[in-house]
Amino acid sequence: MTIPSRNPFEAKLSHDGHTYNPGKGSAGLHPGLKTYGVIDPAEKIGAAAEEKVWECIVIGAGYTGLIAARDLVKAGKQTLLLEARDRVGGRTWSAEIEGTTFEMGGTWVSHVHGRLFAEMQRYGLKDSVSMTRTEGGGAAYFTIDTGSGSRRLSLKEASEMTFRAWRIFINVDGQDGRSLCPLPYSSLGNSRVSREEVEAIDKISCQDRIDQVADQLTADEKALIESLVPHCTGGTAANTGFLEMLRAQALQGYTPETFEECWTLYKIKEGQSTLARKIFDDADRLGLQYAFKQPVRSFVEKDDNVTVTTASGMAYKAKRVINTLPLAVLPTVQFDPPLSKLRQEAIQIGHVNHLTKVHAEVTGDLRGLRGCTFPGELLYVYGDGFCHGDESTRITSFAGDNRGVLNPLQQPEKLVTALKRFHPMEIKKVYFHDWLSDPYSLAGPAWYSAGYLTKYLDELQSRHGNVLMANSDWASGWRAFIEGAMEQGALAADIVMEEVGIQGANAVVS
């Protein structure tokens, strides 16, 4: 029996997310899902907010902004948080639907995500973890359809096939990537590998590498790698840099056997929005002032202060700004003085992640189901536990770059067709957040094309005057993960505290 968790928050309707009722065409598509992340009232800000000079303004209430804002107010800094949405979490949030939690964006946690687990421990969620995989669940096999017909493999057979193919694909140096990516948090300039060596490997795409080893792979193994890359990156094997996969290999311990534990197994039982709310409420308790539903339109720096103007015409001034807007959203905001030419070039090129992530509630027990279809509108599927009531299964599925292939807002019925390709299933409802049409994301979290990291990462991480740029899209470690978002928020807050000034409890008075 599934026991619903006790949660101190009330799920309220957000503007984000969609529900689709199969068989009803466009009439079956409904916007808005309930979540613990909605902040009501949407504003807590003093009457003189536009007249004062804040010590810091934080733009965005995703995990980067939440960590930064919490750390700053904990240190006694006068901090204002501005967020375009009606909720916290940014690209990571959970919908609460009839007693079941659906993670609409960032989802999984891992023992190797140290910052994230520290926050879970801080807020009493360290042991509140559930698993995507259900031992002994129904349909416990792997369905594969890669052009040679649809068939079923045991989960063990599918794992062994994937692991063998991955080892051949990744072992470009004879050491499973260790010699080229020994320190994944220091991709550039570390003591064990020269920048020239990293730049050389960064020139090739994942498809280039697949082509190099194609004669060592069976047709199914080749298709599995060509599908696994976009499953990870939200792009394609052709437009994803091979260095991205070397970094993934290093971060997960240089072995494919740890992929599931690091990437797709453990979840916060109460949902990511619960953790986000706990961080936000902590900052609120400590005196954070905030305004939601306030998209930012411009940053203007003059006389060492930065003026932030919102879409509603409000203007706030601060000594420092921490800007957490994603890479794809930066072109929608004006900077004065303008961004550097190199950063503008990086923004114009952008990253490769244009993913589709879909949930479905299906009749019966499919908790053990795994599968891959390639090519296809959706690439991978996971049985993801029972829904509340234990009579239907939560299914989660991912695609790579679906631009021009599948638009879930315009073609929702194609989601149903794509899901049924994995396995015959009776789909009751489909839930999704279309990140590509969302004006505050316009893409998924960043994965880079060949040559991008070595040319642009340093610039993306650099500050723009008194505007600090902080986002998981250019994190040093687990970029595109919750862990990377928290890394960026903590580092940015530390810089602000150092520059704005903190007087310790036992400060020496001269």
DSSP letters of 121-140? HHTT-TT-EEESS-TT-SS-
Which tokens belong to 286? 């400590």
Best CA proximity match to 314, nearest among 470, 82, 88: 82
Question: Phi/psi of residue 19, each to 5°?
Answer: -115, 140
Number of other residues whose CB lies within 10 A of the CB of residue 199: 15
Longest dimension (CA), the chain: 79
Helix (H, G, I), strand (E, B) or coil at 62: strand
296 is in an annotated binding site: yes
Which tokens belong to 22? 């199969």
Contact between 245 and 207 under an 8 Å Cβ cutoff? The reply is no
Contact between 351 and 473 under an 8 Å Cβ cutoff? The reply is yes
What DSSP designation does 407 have?
A: -
Which tokens belong to 202? 């960064």
142 is in an annotated binding site: no
Report the C-alpha gap between 210 and 401 in whole angstroms. Answer: 18
Contact between 58 and 72 under an 8 Å Cβ cutoff? The reply is yes
Best CA proximity match to 289, nearest among 47, 93, 468: 47
Amino acid at 465: G
Residues comprising the chain, all counted: 510
Burial 13-43 (b: 16+ CB within 10 A, else e): ebebbbbbebeeeeebbeeebbbbbbbeeee
Which tokens belong to 454? 């070595």
Number of other residues whose CB lies within 10 A of the CB of residue 458: 13
Number of other residues whose CB lies within 10 A of the CB of residue 243: 27
Report the C-alpha gap between 75 and 68 in whole angstroms. Answer: 11
109 is in an annotated binding site: no
- In the annotated binding site, the residues are 64, 83-84, 296, 398
- In the annotated binding site for FAD, the residues are 64, 83-84, 296
- In the annotated binding site for substrate, the residues are 398
